[in-house]
Amino acid sequence: MLVAIGAAVAVITGIGAGIGIGIATGKATESIARQPEAKKDIRSSLLLGCALAEATAIYGLIVAILIIFFLK
What would the pLDDT profile of 23-55 be if each residue is shown by its tens digit?
Answer: 999 999 999 999 999 999 999 999 999 999 899
Q: Report if pTM > 0.85.
A: no
Q: Output the pLDDT for position 6.
A: 87
Q: Output the pLDDT for position 1.
A: 82
Q: What integer best gives the mean pLDDT of the chain?
A: 91
Domains and CATH numbers, the chain: 2-70 (1.20.20.10)
Ramachandran sector of residue 9 (left: φ over 0; alpha: ψ -120 to 50; beta: rest): alpha
**Is 72's pLDDT higher than 80?**
no
